[in-house]
Structure 1
Amino acid sequence: MTQHLDRRHFLGLAGMTASAAALAACGGPSTSGTPAATEAAEIDFNGVKPAAKIDFWSNHPGKSQDVEKAIIEKFHAKFPDIKVNLVTAGANYEEIAQKFQTSQAAKTGLPGLVVLSDVWWFRYFTNGSIIPVDALVKQLDIKLDDFRKSLVDDYKYSDKQWALPYGRSTPLFYYNKDHFQAAGLPDRAPKTWQEFGEWAPKLKASSGAQYAYIYPALAGYAGWTLQNNLWGWGGSWSKEWEITCDSPESIEALQWAQDSIYKNGWAGVSSKEAADDFSAGLTSSTISSTGSLLGVLKSAPFNVGVGFLPGGPKAETNVCPTGGAGLGIPSGISKEEQLAAGTFLKFMTEPENSAAFSAATGYMPTRESADMTAVLAQTPQIQTAMDQLAVTRVQDNARVFLPGADQELAKAAAAILTQQADVKSTMTNLKKTLEGIYEKDVKPKLG
């Protein structure tokens, strides 16, 4: 994906920190730190011997613990002098962030390799908590040009590579084929939300499900998936650093979403995990990560369909954000541990293992040369996620670069979709909050 110049400039600034107090309030890790990530000198690993043991911190995205263990076993067979210990560092990306922050502060117990989410990874970058992997890429001959460019470039800033893609995803539109057939609907995802609005009453009337559609749990990643709705209506959380969540287009998009629940009565909001609600037959459709694909296909007792995210009245395509996580190496460990971690990082992201991870989870393969023939023969739905990658869009700055903003987006979405709060006033208040974060924690750093 083409990154915005202002975004590159922002991330290239040395010594950027964010408000620890604001982050403590929203439950995220502090971004205060000392070393400036952009000033990190290239590490010389010549003559360094890899450490005998490292920890790999993961939240096992897409229920990937078994495939992670299998890849580690293969690694041990090839590199018997390096032991990788798989650690469940949290149930989600936020818990990993907290654990990583705690270890950073204590200056002990750091992993060799850590999962970094799309929202949290840059905070480690800005406070110097991770190293650029360029020297390891060169020394270990990691084929960067074989990674899917739009995915690997997400971690490239200030002419340095700060992580490699791992469990990368887009949201997908999941639908119950049996329900769609019973309602006399075409066997495909809707092209627009307006089209689905026409389908929804038919689904509600014929399916026996409680909802025609269920919105993803708002306590999780509402700011991620709702970008689809905003973009389809011509709105956004922000345009560059201008907060636009209160624009007429954004308000119209969220009003439509609220109306689908309270006025039209065909939509609901998941209390925990929309993919599980869908698999259980509670709803005829939902939006969930590609990382949920394999779990849904295994657990749903009906025929599952997947498709691109619907567009809106202003945009029918390029309304899908990327997401997921990459893998990074901490700066606060020895060169020996960093080299061992780099060796494992290379192995973990090899084409064969990328294909295996995709086959086990539904996440997109991160390598161009990954042989997906067998995977697609068994799970052809993964092709939809791979195809949708070509029409994705860079996430709004307000979600991924304003510290603590993702939680504020989720709170505002919850007020609108679960408490029937006034959309305009909620978005006006959200804008003030986001602008406050920008003015305090970002603007002074832009110079």
Structure 2
Amino acid sequence: MMSIKMKSGVLKRMRNLLKSSLFWILILSLAVLTACTNSDSNTNDEKSNEDKPGTDETAGKVSIEFWHAMSGTGQESLDAIVEGFNESQDKYEVKAEFQGTYEESLTKLRSVGGTKDAPAITQVFEVGTKYMIDSGYIEPVQSFIDKDNFDLSTLEQNILNYYKVDGELYSMPFNSSTPVMIYNKTAFEKAGLDPEKAPETFSEVIATAEKLKTDDMFGFSMLTYGWFFEQLVATQGGLYVNEDNGRSGDATEALFNGPEGLNVFNFLDTMNKAGTFGNFGTNWDDIRAAFASQKVAMYMDSSAGVAGAIANAPFDVGVAYIPYADEVQRNGVVIGGASLWMSKGIAENEQEAAWEFMKYMTTPEVQAKWHLDTGYFAINPKAYDEENVKEKWAEFPQFKVTVEQLQDTVPGIATQGALISVFPESRQQIVTALEDLYQGADPQEVLDQAAEGTNRAMEIANKTKK
């Protein structure tokens, strides 16, 4: 039999061997686990990099994201333009991504703005201009214009004016539009009116609406939307807010409830009380359908809506400048639509890609296609000299009227447009005021209430400004 001493030695060696084995098993397990983890991490990083813009190692191109809010025909045209840019050179690739409405896209941008995860380009509606400038998210395109000696004189000045602040261009105009008055030429003829001569002043519109009114058709209508009110104030030379329409400093007081705004509300109130005004609410489709079905003879629309009005109406369609108050000179219109903003915080080569795409978008050929596809203005006037545009205008001279109104606009603070970060809230105040007006409320009283609501919104925004 083995002695107790020998047994003790054997047991000790066995314990040491077991400890050593467990140690190496543990080390081996950790090594395998680490290898697996690194492998998964590398795979995830590769997948993540595939999803993110940047340099495409395979194609050797710089890839960037372009967030936009175009749908329908606008999206189809934009996708084709992006494809054309990508095929025109071998250094950059733009990926156009629909982000919903302007509001939805801007909400998404807030979560990544100013970081490397932001899209290189974002389309933002014109009333978001003040917010974008103050946000810290963007790189003004003026820096690239200066570096590249890009000639801005080739672009439409009355469009550029809106997006310039203190002489600096912050974003590149893209889909630009203004309001126009669209009317039923056939109805004019039946009423004994000259179909080639639309009314110009408020009093002329009121008189014409009375002659056009029938049991089935109203004489005039305007969408219950703040944009049209702003335009009717601006064409009189009126300002929307103080501080030179918010362009020489942060606006603190609404001015739209002054004489110019009251002229607009009295104009609408007069026709509403006379029964010649048709109230079709806040939906663009509803008022356009009312015109096509001959429920209203004249109405305010966007210049981008002209093509649809012509296509959908079973009668001859006329297009005219927006009306203005009798006691003033016509100033013109303020640009609407949206522009393209370059992100700050992204890689330098991505900014360069964004700038090259923006320049491509301004070329006459691209702008001619965009204008004909969508009805939006060409930001490069040379596009109107393209043969396909000339042919379209010859067939539909109504398109030319929209451009002439823009180019006849008198440059000034009023027509340059207001800059406030709370424009959506202010527009809602105007909507409420218009709705109350059509219910019989006093024009000045509801305008003052809208001004007070706008003042409160501006006060809060100015206090919370970064």
What TM-score comes out, normalization by structure 2 length? 0.75
Instruction: Judge conservation of contact 1:165–1:366 (CA < 8 Å) in 2.
Output: yes
Within 5 Å, which residues of 2 pair with 1:38-437? 52-60=62-70, 63-91=73-101, 93-104=102-113, 107=115, 109-138=117-146, 142-187=150-195, 188-205=197-214, 209-216=216-223, 218=224, 222-230=225-233, 237-239=240-242, 240=244, 241=251, 242-273=253-284, 274-370=287-383, 371-379=385-393, 380-389=397-406, 390-391=408-409, 394-395=413-414, 400-404=419-423, 405-437=425-457
Distance 2:93 2:104 in 1: 24
**CA separation in 2, counterparts of 1:398 and 1:147?**
18
- Structure 1 CA distance, aligned partners of 2:429 and 2:226? 5
Aligned equivalents of 1:109, 1:159: Cα separation in 2: 30
1:214–1:270 Cα contact (<8 Å) kept: no
Do the aligned partners of residues 252 and 145 (structure 1) sit closer, same or farther apart at CA in structure 2, a change above 3 Å counting?
A: closer
Partner residue in 2 for 1:36: none
CA apart distance, 1:266: 3.2
Unaligned runs of 5+ in 2: 1-58, 245-250
Note the alpha carbon deviations across 1:236-291, whole angstroms, 9 max, x for none: 54453553333355334313312322443433233411334323433212111111
Distance 1:279 1:160 in 2: 42
Deviation at 1:160, TM superposition (A): 3.3
Partners of 2:164 and 2:236 lie apart in 1 by 30
Contact between 2:62 and 2:92, CA under 8 Å: does it hold in 1?
yes
Classify the secondary structure of the residue corresponding to 1:256. Answer: helix
Partner SS for 1:320? coil
- Please tell me whether the aligned partners of residues 118 and 400 of structure 1 are also in contact (alpha carbons under 8 angstroms): no
Cα displacement string for residues 86-112 of structure 1 (whole angstroms, at most 9, x for unaligned residues): 222223x3333223223338x575322
Cα distance in 2 between the residues matched to 1:300 and 1:51? 47
Give the distance between the partners of 1:295 and 1:60, measured in 2 at CA: 16
Q: RMSD of aligned C-alpha atoms?
A: 3.0
Larger Rg: 2
Flag the 1:435–1:112 CA change in 2: closer, same or farther, 3 A: same
Deviation at 1:418, TM superposition (A): 4.4
> What SS is found at the alignment partner of 1:180?
helix
Q: Which amino acid aligns with 1:422?
A: D
Cα deviation code 1:348-397 (max 9, x no counterpart):
12121111111112222111322244314313222212211222564589
Moved more, 241-250 or 278-287: 241-250
Which residue type is aligned with residue 333 of structure 2? C
Q: CA deviation at 1:126?
A: 1.1
In structure 2, C-alpha distance between the alignment counterparts of 1:147 and 1:440, rounded to whole Å: 37
Q: Secondary structure at 2:279's aligned position in 1?
A: strand
Shift in CA distance, 83/406, structure 1 to aligned 2, threshold 3 Å: same
* Post-superposition offset of 1:299: 2.4
CA, structure 1 residues 155+421, in 2 after alignment: closer, same or farther (shift >3 Å)?
same
Q: Distance in 2 between matches of 1:441 and 1:63?
A: 36
Higher helix share: 2
Select between 392-401 and 296-305 the one with higher mean Cα deviation.
Answer: 392-401
Deviations 1:320-370 (A, max 9, x none): 322222111111322222111111111112121111111112222111322
Residue type of the partner of 1:282?
A: K
Secondary structure at 1:68 match in 2: helix
Q: Cα 1:402–1:423, aligned 2, differ >3 Å: closer, same or farther?
A: farther
Residue 111 of structure 1 aligns to a residue whose secondary structure is coil
For residues 15-54 of structure 1, what are the alpha-carbon distances to aligned partners after superposition, in whole Å with 9 as ceiling and x for unaligned?
xxxxxxxxxxxxxxxxxxxxxxxxxxxxxxxxxx996322
Change (3 A) 1:69 1:249: closer
Q: What is the deviation of 1:175?
A: 0.7
State the 1:235 CA deviation. Answer: 5.6
Give the number of equivalent residue pairs. 389
CA distance in 1, matches of 2:379, 2:171: 13
Give the Cα–Cα distance (whole angstroms) in 1 for the partners of residues 85 and 262 of structure 2.
51
Contact 1:235–1:245 under 8 Å retained in 2:
yes
